[in-house]
Structures are given as C-alpha cells and as structure tokens.
Amino acid sequence: MLLEAVYHRPKLNWSYAYDSETIHLRLRAKKDDLTEVYAFAGDKYIWNQSKELIPMSKFASDDLFDYWECAIKPAYRRLKYGFLLKSDDDEIWMTENDFSKERPPVPDRLFEYPFINPADVFKVPAWVKDTVFYQIFPERFANGNPDNDPAGVLPWGGKPERDNFFGGDLQGVIDHLDHLSELGITGIYFTPLFEATTNHKYDTADYMKIDPHFGDTEMVKKLVQACHERGIRVLFDAVFNHSGKTFAPFVDVLEKGEQSRYKDWFSVREFPLEVNDGVPTYDTFSFEPLMPKLNTDNPEVREYLLNVAEFWIKEVGIDGWRLDVADEVDHQFWRDFRKTVKAANPDAYILGEIWHESSPWLQGDQFDAVMNYPFTDAVLDYVVRGTLDAKGFANAIGRQLSRYPQQASEVAFNLLDSHDTPRLLTLCEGDKNKMKLAALFQFTYGGTPCIYYGDEIGLDGEQDPDCRKCMEWNPDKQDRDLFEFYRKLISVRKDLSVLRTGSITFLHAEEGGSKLAYERRLGKESVLVLLNNYDAGQTLEVPAAGQAWHDAMSGDS
C-alpha cells in the first residue's frame, strides 16, 4: 500500500457538509492500490454506542489516484472519524496523524467534523443545474434600435476590431428572444451592460447606469421581465476588480491627485498618476491604464460596490452575477458580497471568473461556481488539440470532480469558448463533427452548460477581438444543421434528469486513442454515452446490463 499517496484533510473537498444533515467524506489513494475503503465513524461523546464502519466507493480517478467517498448523516450533526484501508495484502487504519496496523482503541486522535452549522453549509441555487446558459456580448448580438448607436457605428457584420462599434443593444436582445427560446435556452449571461467607453464595457464609467448605447434602466427591466416570462434567467457582469478610467472617483483622482477625497478608492503606488515604460504608477488590471484596480480594503468602496450588487437585483430582478477577474479581489469582499446578494435574492447564482483551480472560492462562503476553464481545456485537449487521449481526458475530468464539494460540481459553469477565447468552431478548424463531439460531452455532463452567442449557428472567430463578431441573423447564412444539433442536445438534456444530476462513471477510456464511453446514472435511470473522435466508425464494447435501451438523440429503440 503506497501510504505517500493517501490523502485526507479536514474540511474543503475532503470532509464537507453536503446539506444540513449530511457529511461527505473523501479519501485519495494511489490508483488501483486499494480494494476496499471504510470510514470508521461515530459521535465522540457516545463513541462506543455510535461507532461504525461505513463502506466508501470510488467516485473518481485521475492518472495517479483514486478518490473514495461516502455520505453520512450523523444523528447529532457531529462526527469523529478515521479510515480503514484495505489492499490485496494489507489493512491499515488512518488517523489524523498516523497510519497504524491496529484499530484505534479510542477516538481521541481521529479526524473530526465538529458540527454541521447551517451557516457553513454550501448551498447552491437548485435551478442552475437545470439551466442551459447562453452568453451574450451585447454590442454584437443585435441592433434593435439604431437611434442609440454610438457615433461612427459600422454596418452590421463588419470585421470586429479592438475599438469599433456595430450598435448592438438591449432592444436587439428583446427582438431575438424567440431564437433563444427555440434553441431551448433558459439562462443568459450578459457581458457588462453598464456605461463604459469600450465596446466590451469592462472599463465601467458608471455602475448605476445602463450604457446609453445599449438602452436604459427601463429597457433592461423590460428585457429581464420578458426573459422571466419565457423562463429565462439573467446574469449581469460585475466588474469589481477595477473600474474604468472614466469612473467619476478615478477622474477625481486624476484631476486632484493626492488631494482627491477618492485617492484611497484605488491603489496608487506613487503620485502623480502616470504611465512609465508601460507601467502605471497605480495598480491596474494587468498593466492596463484604462482599468485602475479598486481598493476593496476601503470600507467606502466596499459599501459602494455592495450597494451596486444589491441595487440591480432589487431594481430589475436579475438572477445572479458573473464576477470579472474575481480572483484578484479579496476573499473578505466576496464573503460580504455573498451575504448581500443572497439576502437580496436567496436564489441568486454567483459565478466568478477564475481560470484555475478554484477551491479557495468554492467552499460555500463566496461563489457558487466559476467559469470552468479547466473543463474547457480538458475537452479541447481531447476533442480538438489531440493532446489528451480518451484516458487522459477521463483522468482530467476525474481530477476536476475530486477538487470540489459535490454541490460545486453540480452547478459548475461549463463553457467551451467565450469572448476571451477563440470560437469553438475556429478551434475545431471548421470541423463541425469535432464541434458537435465537444458539445455532446458538454451537454451530457453535470454542471450547467453555456453556449457562446452564435456558436449554435456556425459563427467563427479567432482570439479577441475576432471572436466578437456580429451575430448572423440571415437564416440563409446560419448553419441550421448546427442549430438543430444544439436544439436537440438541449432538448435531450431537459428530458433526461439523469444528464443533469446523475453520477458519472467512465466505462471505457482508450489509451493512445479517442474512444470513450461513460455512464450517467441516477437511481434506476442510466444514460450511456459513446464518443468517437476518429474520422471513421469504430467498434467499442462496453458493459451494459440487459435493460431496454433507446437512442436518446434519434429516439430509436
């Protein structure tokens, strides 16, 4: 037994409250090393009457490790526990500090989950896992009202540049909600809508005002109401890491320097504010002078931003926030943010932009989910880049599942592209089959899938700004086959709750090739998914018990 590979520590993804009465325990071990694992658990105050051995099962694997798990509902919400590890030829007990051949005679040195306190339980909105999201970049989705176009607006469909405008607006979104409903979309994530100077609006000028080129508060209320009437939820984008250069407090600091009453709203390393050799004398996003970093250590700034967060929920009834550059803002702020947002709307979804492992933010006190770019990477490495074989892909997915509490995985925001990446079709070099394969995994996996506007009708585009092309509304120029594929995928996902909430087991993951088979299971319901990333048909044998199967995509039995 390789003891160096065995891992457990209290809390985090290793022992957490799944709900107000259930504790999940997890243990990591070397891949294929253990044959059985048990939690040895009880109430420390009545140890002898309550202690029991609870079998754990393997719920995920990666290239080096297996991850074992069990769920326990302790009668008095507290748990003392250790583990019993069995391999073919060995039995070892694991306590908090040690491994031993002997069963621990007393519970003192076992691990402990002291108490399930409701305040600490990571609760995610139930609606998210049943939602299919669609990301809209408003300047490029549809121009519904030419009257509010910016000066110098270009004809719809031109080549997107860093600084040009095509006049997309909120009326345009309202005009095209039928398109989303036809596709089956039930959630929209809007990149920023507040007044700003750029076409992407990530340089906020006024957090309390809809950009006049998009519309106004009344228009956005109308839009949100129209969405809600169709069962579509709406996320706004909060750019709280930095403001824009035209944000009034920053303008004041630019004008008055150290005399500005807003000087502590930002993080100025040295006055005067200037840029030397490309480096601003104040903290910014990256080294971008347009985007001065907000100082959330300042109570005034915190109060201002929390008020913004609350205002748009109460004023227009949004269903959550996507948080830009979320990992560069302090954890304390996000904790206050969660309290404010969930008080205003207990069902709000809080989605952070983080491109990395995000466990520090996914413990129940900050976000519900992050933009799941590690998911994106794994799917693209497997389907598009070919840098992962099926086995490597299954391992990458297993590793991701192991990292977070189950409720976080249930509402993970699983995207394949965005305004910050090349388009999926372009990554696939125009190969629609590859694109469909990637989407097939996305829609038959847990979490909440998100389609970047236009992917569904064949929009392509390289890295930003090219990935921000105008939406194609001419049906003759839309790829209706692709649209139909996405529509079908979404419809199948909606029909089969197992695809939204079932467990996943990889039944076959080819080494050195791309054949992959996995099962989603929920109670007696089971869906088998077979992926073939070869150019030609393949044969694959997988274990499938003798039930009645039918093809979910074609409906054939």
- Specify the stretch interacting with a second copy by CB under 8 A; choose among 106-114, 253-261, 485-493, 546-554: 106-114
Exposure string over 465-481, b if 16+ CB within 10 A, otherwise e: bebbbbbbbeeeebbee
298 DSSP 8-state letter:
S
We find the least distance from the C-beta atom of residue 238 to a second copy, in angstroms, to be: 17
CA distance 12 to 357: 13
Task: Please identify which residue in 109, 123, 228, 342 interacts with a second copy, judged by CB under 8 A.
Answer: 109
Which one of 169, 319, 353, 519 is the catalytic residue? 353
Binding to a second copy by residue 112, rule CB under 8 A? yes
Report the DSSP pairing between strands 320-323 and 503-509: unpaired
Contact 8, 111 (CB under 8 A): yes
Task: Please identify which residue in 38, 81, 111, 413 interacts with a second copy, judged by CB under 8 A.
Answer: 111
Which one of 139, 195, 319, 324 is the catalytic residue? 324
We find the least distance from the C-beta atom of residue 64 to a second copy, in angstroms, to be: 5
Binding to a second copy by residue 430, rule CB under 8 A? no
Binding to a second copy by residue 343, rule CB under 8 A? no
157: left (phi over 0), alpha (psi -120 to 50) or beta: left
We find the least distance from the C-beta atom of residue 491 to a second copy, in angstroms, to be: 33
Please indicate whether residue 357 is annotated as part of the active site: no
Q: Rule CB under 8 A: which of 23-62 touch a second copy?
A: 30, 45-46
Tokens representing 260?
Answer: 């500005």
We find the least distance from the C-beta atom of residue 32 to a second copy, in angstroms, to be: 12
Binding to a second copy by residue 77, rule CB under 8 A? yes
Label each residue of 92-116 as H, E or C: EEECCCCEECCCCCCCCCCEEECCC
CA distance 148 to 158: 19
Binding to a second copy by residue 22, rule CB under 8 A? no
Please indicate whether residue 89 is annotated as part of the active site: no
- Specify the stretch interacting with a second copy by CB under 8 A; choose among 2-10, 136-144, 203-211, 511-519: 2-10
Compute the half-sphere exposure of residue 258: CA atoms within 13 Å on the CB side of its CA.
Answer: 5
Task: Please identify which residue in 2, 275, 540, 542 interacts with a second copy, judged by CB under 8 A.
Answer: 2
We find the least distance from the C-beta atom of residue 355 to a second copy, in angstroms, to be: 8
Task: Please identify which residue in 48, 89, 97, 511 interacts with a second copy, judged by CB under 8 A.
Answer: 97
Task: Please identify which residue in 19, 365, 464, 466 interacts with a second copy, judged by CB under 8 A.
Answer: 365
Residue 190 vs 393, nearer CB to a second copy: 393
Residue 328 vs 464, nearer CB to a second copy: 328
- Specify the stretch interacting with a second copy by CB under 8 A; choose among 223-231, 353-361, 449-457, 543-551: 353-361
CA distance 391 to 381: 12
Which helix (H) or strand (E) covers residue 59, if one does?
Answer: strand 52-61
Report the DSSP pairing between strands 320-323 and 233-238: parallel
Look at residues 332, 385, 351, 409 and name the one whose alpha carbon lies nearest to residue 234.
351
Helix, strand, or coil (residue 222): helix
Residue 96 vs 310, nearer CB to a second copy: 96
Residue 141 vs 375, nearer CB to a second copy: 375
We find the least distance from the C-beta atom of residue 119 to a second copy, in angstroms, to be: 4
- Specify the stretch interacting with a second copy by CB under 8 A; choose among 53-61, 74-82, 216-224, 303-311: 74-82
Contact 187, 448 (CB under 8 A): yes
Residue type, 41: A
Task: Report how many helices (DSSP H) and strands (DSSP E) the chain contains, helices first.
Answer: 14, 24
Task: Please identify which residue in 106, 119, 536, 545 interacts with a second copy, judged by CB under 8 A.
Answer: 119
Contact 451, 132 (CB under 8 A): yes
CA distance 457 to 480: 6
Task: Please identify which residue in 259, 286, 307, 463 interacts with a second copy, judged by CB under 8 A.
Answer: 286
Look at residues 17, 233, 223, 230 and name the one whose alpha carbon lies nearest to residue 128.
233
277: left (phi over 0), alpha (psi -120 to 50) or beta: left
- Cβ within 8 Å of residue 363, ≥6 positions away: 11, 12, 16, 122, 405
We find the least distance from the C-beta atom of residue 109 to a second copy, in angstroms, to be: 7
Task: Please identify which residue in 19, 36, 120, 464 interacts with a second copy, judged by CB under 8 A.
Answer: 120
Q: Rule CB under 8 A: which of 387-416 touch a second copy?
A: 396, 399
Task: Please identify which residue in 32, 161, 255, 297 interacts with a second copy, judged by CB under 8 A.
Answer: 297
Q: Tell me how far CA of residue 424 lies from CA of 77, 170, 201, in angstroms.
A: 46, 25, 23
Q: For the chain, how far is it from start to end, CA to CA, in angstroms? A: 46
Contact string (CB under 8 A) for a second copy, positions 306-335, x = contact: ---------------------xxxxxxx-x
Q: Rule CB under 8 A: which of 232-261 touch a second copy?
A: none
CA distance 340 to 145: 35
Q: Which residues bind a second copy (CB under 8 A)?
A: 2-5, 7, 9-12, 30, 45-46, 64-65, 76-78, 96-97, 109, 111-112, 114-115, 117-120, 283, 286-287, 296-297, 327-333, 335, 354-357, 359-360, 365, 374, 377, 396, 399
Residues marked active site are found at 324, 353
